[in-house]
Amino acid sequence: MNGWSFIRLHAILIYLFMFLPVGVVVLLSFNDSQFGSFPMTGVSLRWFVELWNNDAIVRAFKVSFLLGGLTAMISTTIGVLASLALVRYEFPGKQFMSTLLIAPILVPEVVLAVALLLFLRFLNVPKSFPLLLLGHVIFTMPFVVLVVQARLVGITRNVEEAALSLGASPIQTFFTITLPLLAPAIFAGALFAFTISFDDITGTLFWKPGGVETVPTQIFAMLRNSISPEINALGTVMIVLTVGLPLFGAALARTISSRRGA
Amino acid sequence: MTTPAVELVDIVKRFGAITALQPMSLTLPEGSFVTLLGPSGCGKTTTLRMVAGLLDPSAGEIRIKGKRVNETPIHKRNLGLVFQNYALFPHKTVYDNVAFGLRYRDIERSQIKKLVNEALDLVQLPSLGDRYPKQLSGGQQQRIALARAIVIKPDVLLLDEPLSALDANLREDMRVELKRIQHQLGITTLFVTHDQSEALAMSDTIVVMSAGNVEQVGAPEEVYNTPSSEFVARFLGASNIIESRTLSVDGEHAMVEARDFGNVPVPIERVRNAITGRESKLVIRAEFLTLNKTDKTPADGVLSVNGQVETVDYQGQAVRYFVRVGDRQLQAINMIDGHPFAEGETVSIHVRPRDCALLPGAIT
Ligand SMILES: Nc1ncnc2c1ncn2[C@@H]1O[C@H](COP(=O)(O)OP(=O)(O)OP(=O)(O)O)[C@@H](O)[C@H]1O
Ligand SMILES: [Mg+2]
């Protein structure tokens, strides 16, 4: 056996190790049996139907979509403005601000979660949905800032200066030139924020008020009772959403830029 | 007298502790083509950006059409700006790029279309309206950038090294093209370059700058033939600068005693501040030193000195020689007439006194 085939075998094993469990979940979600495990007794969509009829799960989906959507909106808006300030303007403490914005990625999520919780306790503020949202905004924003900043650095200042010289006011220049050029990055940042929020469990467990469940915390709660095949179906739906959305986004971005002859 | 298109009155620019531009005054008459020429970092871009309104002067006044504009933001100054990197809007078609400025002016749709097409015709790219900038060559992109800048009929056109990103052949074509368009439209132009041949070929007036100072302002022939300082003499073209002493000055000549060359009567119109008895510098352009066989006697009034060829730099239609004379090297650029001289050959260098210029002071 030569070196190359050894490496190839190795790679295959690693991929199997990573994706086989996911594949098994997807496969089992179509299993007709009432136990969420092998052997397969037939192919059916009954667990997806169950899922649809399970009020708790539907409610959790609604919460997750709302939370993810709002997180994406707020994170992106603030993140874009922050990136503009960091890339386009000089101000004292800029380096520090920049590091501070990225810090939530570097701090372990549990630490961040506990810190925020203790802080709220200290302020005597009860847990609530807006606070959960705030938590999600804090740890999704660095991704938006990183993506948007990278793109902004690539847009030369001269393009904006040309627009200004032609009579567009700074605001008009922002909306006709900067924003459209930034759009792919903003879009990617928003998708990041959404999927990260949608997937998150650690922070959410700490911050969510009683009685509110997101899809991941719902799955977590269900797992404590039993391993129902419904969970496999739920897992499949989650995979489709969190993998499908970015792929869809990337495809969309490519179509747009190819139309511009990029 | 008509109001000049642009006036800079004692403008200064400081960035923190460093002064990028010493007090500078400059007038651009209506329709003129003025070039800021100087080495990297001398403050050309800084000056241009202050006229554009992209930088605020630390002191002094900028006037466009006689009106002070220091407080006018760039988008209200009615300027055309062209950059080295084209800076076209990548997400807009060529047509929309050119039409951009017109949309912020009170102009009807049908009129916009007509003006854009005229501008595209002017830069000789009438059929590219539907393309995106990335689908164009560098030269085409720069023409579109020019069309975009001139279509709004700006009070002044500001060009920051617009040809520097193009390759040599294209650059020469564009140079002619740009000059043609500028002339045709009679548009006042401030052009920035560090390329002396560009400056000499295109300008009505050249402003030679060095380290934030204006060294000389004048027509191309003037700065070339009568440099006001050693810096200008060395920066424009290849010059030989020779120590000399002024012996006498009369209405026609300044007689100087130059090292190796002996007594040289320099025509008075090419002499700056000659003072009898003081040190001076004789400036001789490399093109005006001609190499000859040692047996050739110089014509009447022509000076000659012997030297030894050290380096031969063949350039096609011309040759550049470095010739050792005494303990120093002189530079000569001669058209080729028969065989070029060989390295090591002893030659007689001839120069006509009327091709010399004289600067005051000792060599720095
Ligand atoms: N924003 C700034 N902050 C500090 N110094 C600056 C700034 N912009 C320019 N300078 C300095 O001012 C001087 C003039 O710069 P400028 O860009 O005008 O040079 P230039 O003549 O255009 O040179 P080049 O041919 O390289 O473009 C330089 O020494 C430069 O370092
Ligand atoms: Mg410059």
Over the stretch B20-47, which tens digit does the pLDDT of each residue have? 889 999 999 999 999 999 999 899 999 9
- The string of pLDDT tens digits covering residues B92-151 is 999 999 999 999 998 888 899 999 999 999 888 888 888 999 999 888 999 999 999 999
Mutate to test the interface with B, among A155, A166, A259 (most CBs of B within 10 A): A166
Reply yes or no on whether the pLDDT at B260 is more than 90. Answer: no
Reply yes or no on whether the pLDDT at A144 is more than 90. Answer: yes
Interval B51-74 mean pLDDT: 92
pLDDT of residue A1: 62
Mutate to test the interface with A, among B54, B69, B75 (most CBs of A within 10 A): B75
Residues A149, B59 contacting (CB under 8 angstroms): no
Reply yes or no on whether the pLDDT at A261 is more than 70. Answer: no
pLDDT of residue B155: 92
pLDDT of residue B50: 94
What is the Cα–Cα distance from B136 to B94, expressed in whole angstroms? 9
Alpha carbon of A31: minimum distance to chain B alpha carbons (Å):
49
Residue B8 backbone dihedrals phi, psi, to 5 degrees = -110, 125
Which residues share a beta bridge with B193? Answer: B37
Residue B211 C-alpha to ligand 2 middle, in angstroms?
A: 13
Q: Does B83 touch chain A (CB under 8 A)?
A: yes
Query: By percentage, how much of chain A surpasses pLDDT 90?
Result: 31
Pick from A204, A178, A161: nearest CA to A81:
A178
When pLDDT is cut at 50, 70 and 90, the band that residue A123 belongs to is confident
pLDDT of residue A46: 78
Our CA dihedral for B16, B17, B20, B21, rounded to 10 degrees, sits at: 100
Q: Does B322 touch chain A (CB under 8 A)?
A: no
Nearby residues of B15 by Cβ (< 8 Å), 6 or more positions away = none
pLDDT of residue A260: 64
Nearby residues of B101 by Cβ (< 8 Å), 6 or more positions away = A166, A167, B148, B151, B152
Reply yes or no on whether the pLDDT at B233 is more than 70. Answer: yes
**Which of A161, A166, A262 lies nearest to residue B100, judging by beta carbons?**
A166
- Atom 7 (ligand 1) nearest CA: B15
When pLDDT is cut at 50, 70 and 90, the band that residue A22 belongs to is confident
Reply yes or no on whether the pLDDT at B275 is more than 80. Answer: no
Pick from B27, B20, B22: nearest CA to B207:
B27
pLDDT of residue B112: 92
When pLDDT is cut at 50, 70 and 90, the band that residue A170 belongs to is very high
Peptide bond into A246 cis (omega under 30): no
Which residues in chain B have their CB less than 8 angstroms from residue A158's CB?
83, 85, 87
A192: how many CB neighbours lie within 10 A of its CB?
22
**Which of B81, B104, B135 lies nearest to residue A162, judging by beta carbons?**
B81
SS3 A31: strand
Nearby residues of A43 by Cβ (< 8 Å), 6 or more positions away = A30, A31, A32
**Which of A159, A260, A262 lies nearest to residue B87, judging by beta carbons?**
A159
pLDDT of residue B267: 84
What is the Cα–Cα distance from B272 to B218, expressed in whole angstroms? 14
Reply yes or no on whether the pLDDT at A262 is more than 70. Answer: no
Residue B341 C-alpha to ligand 2 middle, in angstroms?
A: 40
Strand-by-strand arrangement of the B156-160 sheet: B79-82, B156-160, B189-193, B33-37, B205-210, B213-218
- Atom 2 (ligand 1) nearest CA: B15
Strand-by-strand arrangement of the B328-335 sheet: B290-292, B346-351, B303-314, B318-325, B328-335
Q: Does A92 touch chain B (CB under 8 A)?
A: no
Residue B170 C-alpha to ligand 2 middle, in angstroms?
A: 21
Instruction: Given CATH 1.10.3720.10, say whether it is the number of domain A53-261.
Output: yes
Mutate to test the interface with A, among B95, B104, B116 (most CBs of A within 10 A): B104
Closest residue of chain A to B98, computed from CA coordinates: A166
Reply yes or no on whether the pLDDT at A121 is more than 80. Answer: yes
Interval A1-10 mean pLDDT: 85
Cα angle at B128 between B144 and A169, to 5 degrees?
Answer: 45
What is the Cα–Cα distance from B148 to B305, expressed in whole angstroms? 56
Interval B304-327 mean pLDDT: 87
Domain residues of chain A, as ranges?
A: 1-44, 53-261
Cβ–ligand 1 contact at B270 (below 6 Å): no
When pLDDT is cut at 50, 70 and 90, the band that residue A53 belongs to is confident
pLDDT of residue B8: 92
What is the Cα–Cα distance from A160 to A171, expressed in whole angstroms? 11
- The string of pLDDT tens digits covering residues A197-240 is 998 888 898 888 888 888 888 888 888 877 777 788 888 888 88
Residue A96 token pair: 């520090």
Cβ–ligand 1 contact at B44 (below 6 Å): yes
**Which of A156, A167, A180 lies nearest to residue B75, judging by beta carbons?**
A167
Decide which of B265 and B207 is more confident.
Answer: B207
When pLDDT is cut at 50, 70 and 90, the band that residue A259 belongs to is low
**Which of B85, B104, B158 lies nearest to residue A166, judging by beta carbons?**
B104
What's the 3-state SS for chain B?
Answer: CCCCCEEEEEEEEEECCEEEEEEEEEEECCCCEEEEECCCCCCHHHHHHHHHCCCCCCEEEEEECCEECCCCCHHHCCEEEECCCCCCCCCCCHHHHHHHHHHHCCCCHHHHHHHHHHHHHHCCCCCCCCCCHHHCCHHHHHHHHHHHHHCCCCCEEEEECCCCCCCHHHHHHHHHHHHHHHHHHCCCEEEEECCHHHHHHHCCEEEEEECCEEEEEECHHHHHHCCCCHHHHHHCCCEEEEEEEEEEECCCEEEEEECCCEEEEEEHHHECCCCCCCEEEEEEEHHHCEEECCCCCCCCCCEEEEEEEEEEEECCCEEEEEEEECCEEEEEEEECCCCCCCCCCEEEEEECHHHEEEEECCCC
Residue A69 C-alpha to ligand 1 middle, in angstroms?
A: 46
pLDDT of residue A178: 92
Closest residue of chain B to A256, computed from CA coordinates: B91
Q: Which amino acid is at A42?
A: G
What is the Cα–Cα distance from B190 to B27, expressed in whole angstroms? 11
Closest residue of chain B to A168, computed from CA coordinates: B75
Query: By percentage, how much of chain B surpasses pLDDT 70?
Result: 99
Reply yes or no on whether the pLDDT at B347 is more than 60. Answer: yes
- Check CB contact under 8 Å for A260 and B80: no
pLDDT of residue A36: 63
Cβ–ligand 1 contact at B21 (below 6 Å): no
What is the Cα–Cα distance from B248 to B264, expressed in whole angstroms? 11
Reply yes or no on whether the pLDDT at B169 is more than 80. Answer: yes
Which residues in chain B have their CB less than 8 angstroms from residue A186's CB?
none
HSE-CB at B220 with a 13 A cutoff on CA atoms is 13
As a whole number of Å, the CA-based R_g of chain A is: 23
Interval B302-309 mean pLDDT: 86
- Check CB contact under 8 Å for A161 and B75: no
Cβ–ligand 1 contact at B280 (below 6 Å): no
- Check CB contact under 8 Å for A166 and B83: no
Cβ–ligand 1 contact at B13 (below 6 Å): no
Cβ–ligand 1 contact at B40 (below 6 Å): yes
- The string of pLDDT tens digits covering residues B178-204 is 999 999 999 999 999 998 889 998 999
